[in-house]
Structures are given as C-alpha cells and as structure tokens.
A and B are shown apart, each in its own frame.
Chain A
Amino acid sequence: MSLIGNLNKVFDSRIRLGIMSALVVNKEVNFNELKELLDITDGNLASHLKTLEESEFVKVQKGFIGRKSNTTYSITKAGEKAFKTHLTALEKMIGSMK
C-alpha cells in the first residue's frame, strides 16, 4: 500500500494547509484574518484560495460591512473529508518511522 498515495496533492502547499487548518476550527474566516494569520500578500493568498475553491474544498461568501467588502471563507463537507484523510495519511507516515 502506498502511503504517499493518500496524501492530497492540493495540500502540498504549506499555505493551503494553513488555510484549511484555520477553516477546520472556525465556522468562517474572512480574507484579512487569513492574511494576518499566514502573513502573506493579497495576491498570493487569493491564488491559493482559488485553488482550494476549484477543488471544492472551500466555499466563498461575499458580503459587506458598511461600504467595505467582506469576503469570508468556510470549509465544505468534501474539504473536511479530504483534510481528515490527509491528516491520517500524515500520521501514518510518521508512524512508519519506527
């Protein structure tokens, strides 16, 4: 059985992994909160979010606070499942160290 086969390619990136981690423990997180958390630029964050969106792991809600746009992100059922599978795969990789 291939251990690496269970690791999801989408989560190869540290930033995407970070985004998913934040979304798993929070109902929703807005764009700026993610930016502060990961300490990256707007463009960089947007492109990673796009990848996650295209994989249908993340859904986007566009809204407004006053006149300012407020875009929040939350995890989908598929995203949650993929993330959990990825976590288990990571644990197994570490377990095989012994």
Chain B
Amino acid sequence: MNEQQQSLHDLQHIKQMMERSSRFISLSGLSGIAAGVCALAGAWFANGVIEANGGPSGYRAVVVKTLEVDSLQDFMGHRLFQIAIYTFVAAFVFAFLFTYLRSKKNNVPVWGYTSRRLLINVSVPMVAGGIYLFRQMQFGNYGLIAPGCLIFYGLALVNASKYTLGEVRYLGYCQVLLGIINCWFVGYGLYFWAAGFGLLHIIYGSVMWYKYERNKKSEA
C-alpha cells in the first residue's frame, strides 16, 4: 500500500515537473503591479485632459467631443492618443524590468526557450488585434477601440497562460469580460481601461507576488 502511494506521488511529481519546466516561471508579480500603476497614472492624466475640455458633468459627451477629429492624423496627434502611447511604453518598460531582475536573481536567461515561446504566443493575438483596431480607427470607430484593446489583450493572456504561470489565464478571462461589457458602454472606455489595465493588473500582481515571491525573499 505504502509503495503504491509512493508511486502515485512520483507520478504527480513527474507531471508537475513536466508542466513547470515547459513554462516561463520568472514572470514577476511586481511587473503586474508596476504595469497597473502606470495604467492608473495614464488614466489620471487622460481624465485631466477630458475634464479640461468640459468638466465632469456629461462625461460621455465630452469624450465624444474630444474624439471628434477630422482624420486619423488628427487623432494620432491628439493628447489622449499620446498619453496612451506613453502609458503603454512606461508599463512595458517597468514590467520588463521587474521580470528581468527576477530572472537575473534566479540566474535564468530572460531570453531563453520558454520566454521566447511565451512572447510569440502573446504577440499573435496582440499584433492581429492591433492591426484590426488600427483599421477600425481609420474608419472612425473610436468608441470600440478601448473595448477592443481589452478583448484582444485578454485573449493574448489566455493564450499565453499555457507558457507561463497558469494564473495568467484568469487575468485574461477578466480582461475579455470587461472588454465585452465595455462594448455596451461606449464612451466610458477610460474607466474600463483603468479597471482592466490598472486595477486588475495590480490585483493579479499582488496575488502572484504574495504566492510565489514573498517567501523566497524572506528566506534569502
């Protein structure tokens, strides 16, 4: 009986090691928190621009007015668009930094087989979604850009979860859900962005840090 239980444990151990070894597990929870903070800061700045254009009353109307532009070039040159780009770049840089530091600490190359595969699997839905949303902008469907970003980002995360910490899948589901709800609340994209890219990232990052990194730190 005892030997049989031993065999069962051995098989479970084998399964776990097979799974973990084919995933990029250095992804840091702090990356999620940092990206979330950047997103909230970005949303705060964007909100400032919107308020300067008309104040908090009739929020939706102001957004619609702000986004009333003649051409795509106008939109690209728009303050809100620029804030979005800066936010994305800052979030990406900080997210990369913390994961880089963690993999450095664990002595695992950031650019290894597992991280490469993770990046490819994140990129496919993101790039496809990006191109699609770019076309939407060209047709002037600005209202569906924010929900679109959340949906495609969520799908990218669900896809990526097979190649990194499995919990990423739940973050992905939440982003997709938020994006879909946002489709029926066009004009409130900024709030949904703040919730999805900001709050959800911070919650996810905190949980991951607490689960995987906190103990290691106290041992070291």
**Total B residues in contact with A, Cβ cutoff 8 Å:** 24
**Minimum CB–CB distance for A75 against chain B, Å:** 12
Query: Which of chain A's residues have a CB closer than 8 A to the CB of B113?
Result: 26-28
Q: State which residues 1-33 of A face B: CB under 8 Å.
A: 4, 11, 14, 17-18, 20-22, 24-30, 32-33
Closest to A34 in B: B21
Q: Is the interface of A mostly helix, strand, loop or mixed?
A: helix
Q: B7 to A35, Cβ gap below 8 A?
A: no
Whole-angstrom CA separation of A97 from B161 in the bound complex: 35
Q: B22 to A26, Cβ gap below 8 A?
A: yes
Q: A21 to B21, Cβ gap below 8 A?
A: yes
**Total A residues in contact with B, Cβ cutoff 8 Å:** 30
Whole-angstrom CA separation of A58 from B166 in the bound complex: 29
Given A18-B17, A32-B107, A37-B20: A94 touches B7 (CB 8 Å cut-off): yes
Q: B14 to A17, Cβ gap below 8 A?
A: yes
Q: B4 to A93, Cβ gap below 8 A?
A: yes
Q: Which of B3, B26, B112 has the most C-beta atoms of chain A within 10 angstroms of its own C-beta?
A: B3
Whole-angstrom CA separation of A94 from B1 in the bound complex: 9
The 3 closest A-B pairs by CB, nearest first: A22-B21, A21-B17, A93-B7
Q: A29 to B21, Cβ gap below 8 A?
A: yes
Interface: A46 (CB within 8 A): no
Q: A97 to B4, Cβ gap below 8 A?
A: yes
Query: Which of chain B's residues have a CB closer than 8 A to the CB of A96?
Result: 4
Q: B107 to A24, Cβ gap below 8 A?
A: no
Q: A37 to B21, Cβ gap below 8 A?
A: yes
Closest to A93 in B: B7
